[in-house]
A and B are shown apart, each in its own frame.
Chain A
Amino acid sequence: WLQYFNKEEFIYAHDPEKKCKTGDIVLIQELPEKMTRLISHMVKHVVYPLGDITDPLTGKKVVVGKYRDEIAEANELYGESENAFKYDDAPDRGWQEDKKDFTHRESYIKYHEFPDDDQPYAV
């Protein structure tokens, strides 16, 4: 019977300013000459950062299928609580790295107990 499989292509792109983070959709340009054996492209700019997408047509911020204004309107109609999440007060992505969010590095299965090392990326 027919089976369909995904194909993945890995490209090494030069990013000296560290603009992109894991999961971002990014625009890359092919370099005229290969920088190293592997690096063939360079990162131009981030199009859609992960979890913070702006609609390209309207320019408004979006959460999955709804605009943020719509959600805010609904909350206001119900009577927004004090503990609700506010987008304006939220800091940029990365303030919980190494504290609660360990997705910026690849995790591995612990294979040895090091006396000095805490091994925060070991599962």
Chain B
Amino acid sequence: MPRGGSLTKLAYYSTVQHKVAKVRSFDHTAKEVDGDPLYEISVQEEITARLHFIKFENAYIETCLDFIKDHLVNTETKVIKATGGGAYKFKELIEKKLRLKVDKEDEMSCLIKGCNFVLKNIPHEAFVYAKHADSEFRFQNTHPDIFPYLLINIGSGVSIVKVESEDKFERIGGSSIGGGTFWGLGALLTKTKRFDELLQLASRGQHTSVDMLVKDIYGGAYGSLGLTGDLIASSFGKSATTDKEFSKEDMAKSLLHMISNDIGQLACLYARLHSLTRVYFGGFFIRGHPVTMHTITYSINFFTKGEVQALFLRHEGYLGAIGAFLKGAEEDNPNQYSWGENYAGSSGLMSVSPDLNPMQRVRSGTFDMLEMDRLERQLVNLPLLQDPSSYIPDTVDLTEDALARQYWLYCFEEALDGVVNRAVASQPDLPQAVERAEKFRQKYLHKLQTLRHQPFAYGSLTVRSLLDTREHCLNEFNFPDPYSKIKQKENDLALRYFQKVVRSLEKLTWEQRQFALVKGLLAGNVFDWGAKAVSDVLESNPEFGFEEAKHQLQERPWLVDCYDQWIARLKGPPHKCALFFVDNSGIDIILGVFPFVRELLCRGTEVVLASNSGPALNDVTNSELQILTERIAAMDSVIQAAIKEDRLTLVQSGSSSPCLDLSRLDKALAVVVRERHTDLVVIEGMGRAIHTNYYAALSCESLKLAVIKNSWLAERLGGKIFSVVFKYEIPPQSPGLRR
């Protein structure tokens, strides 16, 4: 709990009870009765850990403490960690209210701990600010190695800290000219008391009436030194030589420039001395203020000639609180887990820019939240990424592509009714399903509206983030798996056709079979409830069959057609091991993926099937896939043998998203991939191969295939609905091709 300035930031850890969908296999030793469901679905209570960070004005401290008290029931916490100037001020109140001991923690080490935590765990945490660009916020990819970096904390003074590793950091310098100087001096000069009022004054002012510019001295530029005429030669220089009155706005602006430039200059000098290029800025001077982010960015650009970029953090305001919390939780070692931002519970990057409407200002000024879910496993890079530091999962950045943004926001809003209906239908026996679904609708609609105005609220806006936000919101209202019953039904149905499909494939010649397998894979992928066009058809015509789907597919040549290269490759030696990221349940996995996998196994290629850890749309989950695999193995000796001999392995991806971030995968998956010397990665489906990873460069061969089930997207890619993408890529000097 850091307590600087007028805002209190609070971090607490809670265990959240929420519903999760579980599948359990029936005992199949008993004779099967036709019509029995394949497996049992149950919704169970599960306890997961969640980190909450709340920011509110000090005026609300009592309300807040009551809130914490309510959430602290049944906890064994005896000590609360606090940092920042207010830790003393409110110590008694906190101790009395919560009957907890307040431990004051060192501010700087909390800050660094928090900074490391968000940089590691929140994708798109850092951003570059560009005032005049199409999107003001340009988010940075999570770099696998966050160290070393420079943190410039601009509070009342400035601290410059070099962070070299998790535990190693050093305050290498600082300056007394900081936020306190702007505030204090600004208050004296303009008689304006509040910090953000001063910033507003500054954003309206003209510094040139107060500052002495190079052109005021030279009459123009100082050409031989490359100093342009508009450069400030002497801050406040004109107020020394003119007797006239200066406006508050102009003085505030001049002061803002003076301080920002000074800090930027020192930051550059320190960055250069220590050869650091990653420089993050934080502290109340920066926090959510586009005005100061702009002036600091400008200054850094000027002094480093663009060599160093000023980076800012979305959750900068929470760093101290997160750090203080982590210190308190050291015995739990939160660093051994990975954490994910919960989009449903986080308010996102809300700017207190004076340019924004007052509604938003009020909301962000008083109450702001961040929630992080503890993931059950540690997430790491796919070891097969060609360059983890430049990997960007998402194909289109909707923050930058306004046209695509409008379309997708519209599309998700349109689809909302269907999702709500499905959610209600998935829980006929559970209480208040309709009310909860309605709450879900409101929440998601609100998120969409926020994103319409502030696309940057949660980092780069992408189709993935829109999908994930929807999943988080559904979970929030206890709809853990709205598709569970549909998946069950489809899986059941598809299993009945499995043997028939395999038999018919076996009758074909090798060449015919390869094409049929690929076509089956693609046709299977048409069965996707996540795509609106398909869910419409499926809902109106449940008999829409596998064969019919094949007819819907685009004829070759496909939109992206590397089929010939793929066949040529198959005529060569078998792959050592293929990693297959699967997509939908039902026909897709059973009639599309399994026959394809079976062929790979027959070729002598080991197969690792990676499926989602948690539910997302109708995607097959790891636990479902386990049951399905058992059932298929019971019917098919090839699969059975492969499982027995450990040539077919199921792993979970660590994700609960319809998309795929190859930089955040289950550590166990990474281990298997490495151990098996995986030399082929297959990524299937729109979410995983088009919206994400379309441009992902891997260090081994890869196959990205999908059917474009969205006419807008198909058109954008230059095709029509049900266009096929079959992208087979060989990295330069692939070890797999060395014969």
Q: Check if A and B associate.
A: no
Interface residues of A (CB under 8 A from B): none
- Interface residue ranges, B against A (CB under 8 Å): none
